[in-house]
Amino acid sequence: MTRIAKVKLPVFQPILGSEETYYYRNKLEFTFSCARWLTEDEIGKEDLGSMNALGFHVPGRFDKILPVDHCYLQPDPSNTIRNGVRDFAEANGISYYELKNQKEGALRNLIIRNTVTNEWMVTVQFAYVTEEEINLVMEYLKSTFPMITSLNYVINQKGNDTFHDLEVVCYHGKAFMVETMEDLKFQIGPKSFFQTNAKQALKLYQLVREYADLQGNEVVYDLYTGTGTIGLFLAKHATKVVGLEYVEMAVEDARINAELNGIKNATFFAGDMKKVLTEEFIAIHGAPDVIITDPPRAGMDVDVVNQILAVQPKKIVYVSCNPATQARDLALLDVAYEVDVVHPVDMFPQTHHVENIVRLILKS
User: DSSP class of residue 282?
Assistant: H
Q: Which of 80, 77, 51 is nearest to 64 (CA)?
A: 51
Give the burial class of 59: count Cβ atoms within 10 A of its Cβ; 0-12 exposed, 13-18 middle, 19 or more buried: exposed
Buried b (16+ CB within 10 A) or exposed e, 133-142: bbebbbebbe
Which of 32, 153, 176, 224 touches ligand SAM (CB under 6 A)? Answer: 224
Closest separation in Å from C-beta 45 to ligand SAM: 44
Q: Segment contacting ligand SAM (CB under 6 A): 129-137, 177-185, 234-242, 292-300?
A: 292-300
Here's the x/- map for ligand SAM, 258-277, by CB under 6 A: it reads as: --------------xx----
Report if residue 179 touches ligand SAM, rule: CB under 6 A: no
Report if residue 182 touches ligand SAM, rule: CB under 6 A: no
HSE of 124 in the Cβ direction (CA atoms, 13 Å)? Answer: 30
3-state helix, strand, coil in the chain (%, to 5): 30, 30, 45
Residue 321 catalytic?
A: yes
Here's the x/- map for ligand SAM, 127-146, by CB under 6 A: it reads as: --------------------
Considering only residues 293-322, where is the footprint of ligand SAM by CB under 6 A? 294-296, 321
Closest separation in Å from C-beta 84 to ligand SAM: 31
For the beta carbon of residue 276, count every other beta carbon within 10 angstroms: 17
Give just the sign of the alpha carbon dihedral 263, 267, 271, 275: negative
Which of 136, 168, 247, 256 touches ligand SAM (CB under 6 A)? Answer: 247
Alpha-carbon span 166 to 154, nearest angstrom: 7
Q: Which is nearer to ligand SAM, 35 or 247 (CB)?
A: 247
Report if residue 245 touches ligand SAM, rule: CB under 6 A: yes
Phi, psi dihedrals of residue 127, rounded to the nearest 5°: -115, -90
Report if residue 77 touches ligand SAM, rule: CB under 6 A: no
Which of 229, 257, 307, 326 touches ligand SAM (CB under 6 A)? Answer: 229
Report if residue 168 touches ligand SAM, rule: CB under 6 A: no
Report if residue 150 touches ligand SAM, rule: CB under 6 A: no
Enumerate residues 6+ apart whose C-beta is below 8 A from 250.
192, 193, 225, 226, 227, 228
Closest separation in Å from C-beta 202 to ligand SAM: 11
Binding residues for ligand SAM (CB under 6 A)? 193, 195, 224-227, 229-230, 245-247, 250, 272-273, 294-296, 321
| Residues recognised as catalytic | 321
